[in-house]
Amino acid sequence: MIKMSRPQLNPLISIIVPAHNAGEVMSLTVQSILQQSYADFELIIVDDGSTDSTKQICDQFCRSDSRVRYFFQENKGVSAARNAGITLSKGQFILFVDSDDTLETTMLDKLKNCFSGKDVDLAFCGFNVIGDDSRQNDMESLRQFTGTITREEVLANLISTDSSRQFLGYVWRFLFRRETIKRFNIFFKLRMHISEDFQFIVEYVTHCRKISVIPEKLYNYQIHTGSVTAHYIPSLPKDMISVNEWVRENILSIYPMLQEGWDNCVANTYLSIVQNYCRVGTPERIWKRVVLSYQIKKRYAFSKFVWLSIKSRGTRLKAKFALVLFVLNMDWLYVFLYSAKHGTLKKSEEKTDYE
């Protein structure tokens, strides 16, 4: 059951923030939203079953700013929280924001200005990565474009692992048309813990006429120590393989020119699965990680895609090293090296965080 705060008038933009036990971090997030240079928006905070001070903090913001709306639901996960926000939204446009990130002051203004042309259905910008120097953004790719581009160009850059052209599929730096989401019934897939952003974006893009790119860092993506993406995720193999199959069935059949990009994504899926077996929180001992890697490699014929990805010019050097080991059937060596790097040669059972 969702509990509601007071209703709002119809704003231009609905900003949806899913929150779960975010009391220690979300004040800066909300403040960065309320301080936007463009003010015609509603802020919908969907509290996904928090047991900390999240509700009290949200109540304070609701009392001080009528644009803030607070909703509480039983803990169902970030996808369910975002879907609830979509259902409750009233704006012409929708922006998703994570509860520990912040926006540059002009982000809303610059994104909404992209829709001055009626044929633009999506706009997105660059982002800063805070807290992890090893994580990349995609500014190099964004700078290659100005103004509006076609859905085919965006799909080619989303379904790719080429660092010189890839658009990273993070949902929080895209401004969507609410009417498009509603008309085509586009929602986040429940029970998915990874790649749900990517699938949502790709599905939405297939219904776009034109997309506008802003090659500026307007969103601040905060990576905390112990972030879920640095931990073992039990559903990762199932989630990533499911998304690959969805793309093959729904996208490649219409856009066969994306085959090479998809092949590379599948190879990257195997790399991500092997790495996941070795991350903090893994329940498996070192020998079981090796066995599981070889088993899933054979089951989904990953060797074929690994070989194709090695020959691709856009494959990152670090990834290529791993892929060469996989082609040589030395997956066991990569498991040992990656486990040693992350200090998990002995199994660890730490729990993951909400994201």
Question: Residue 1 above 80 pLDDT?
Answer: no
Q: How far is CA 293 from CA 273, 290, 325, in A?
A: 8, 5, 13
CATH label, 3-222, candidates 3.40.1380.20, 3.30.420.40, 3.40.50.300, 3.90.550.10: 3.90.550.10
User: Quick one: which H or E segment has residue 187?
Assistant: none
> What is the pLDDT confidence band of residue 6, given thresholds at 50, 70 and 90?
very low
Predicted pLDDT at 125: 96
Question: For residue 205, is pLDDT > 60?
Answer: yes
Q: Are 94 and 86 in contact (CB under 8 A)?
A: yes
Looking at residue 146, its pLDDT comes to: 79
CA 1 vs CA 14, 156, 255: distances in Å: 21, 40, 41
**Mean pLDDT confidence for 29-57:** 97
Instruction: Please report the pLDDT score of residue 314 as a whole number.
Output: 66
Tens digits of residue pLDDT in 144-178? 987 899 999 999 999 998 888 899 999 999 999 99
Tens-place pLDDT, residues 211-240: 999 999 999 999 875 555 578 999 999 999
Residue with tokens 């070795």: 278
Q: How confident is the model at residue 355 (pLDDT cuts 50, 70, 90)?
A: very low
Residue 8 pLDDT: 54
Share of the chain above pLDDT 90, in %: 81
Per-residue pLDDT at 261: 94
Specify the domain boundaries for CATH 3.90.550.10 within the chain: 3-222
| Residues with Cβ within 8 Å of residue 339, at least 6 apart in sequence | 278, 286, 289, 345
**Between 314 and 273, where is the model more confident?**
273
Select from 51, 50, 70 the least CA-distant residue to 60. 70
Task: Give residue 136's pLDDT.
Answer: 80
Give the model confidence (pLDDT) of 67-98 as tens digits. Answer: 999 999 999 999 999 999 999 999 999 999 99
Under 8 Å CB-to-CB from 123, ≥6 apart: which residues?
111, 112, 114, 115, 174, 175, 211, 212, 213, 214
Structure token pair of residue 168? 């990273």
Question: Is 316 exposed, middle or buried, given 0-12, 13-18 or 19+ CB atoms closer than 10 A?
Answer: middle
**Mean pLDDT across the chain:** 91
Residue 195 buriedness (CB in 10 A; 0-12 / 13-18 / 19+): buried
pLDDT reported for residue 248: 96
**Residue 228 corresponds to which amino acid?**
V
With beta carbons less than 8 A apart as the criterion, state whether 232 and 279 touch.
yes
Report which of 312, 16, 254 is spatially closest to residue 246, judged by C-alpha positions: 254
Helical (H) or strand (E) element with 127 = strand 120-130
To which residue do tokens 């989401």 refer?
181
pLDDT of residue 268: 94
Which ranges of the chain does DSSP label H, i.e. alpha helix? 26-34, 54-64, 78-88, 107-113, 139-142, 151-158, 178-183, 196-205, 236-247, 259-277, 286-299, 302-311, 317-327, 331-341
H-only helix segments in 300-353: 302-311, 317-327, 331-341
The predicted structure's pLDDT at residue 353: 41
pLDDT of residue 219: 98
pLDDT tens digits, 298-351: 999 999 999 988 877 666 777 889 999 999 999 999 999 999 999 999 875 544
- Residue 6 has φ and ψ, to the nearest 5°, of -65, 150
**Helix, coil or strand: residue 162:** coil
> Which is higher by pLDDT, 137 or 64?
64
Separation of alpha carbons 336 and 231, rounded Å: 17
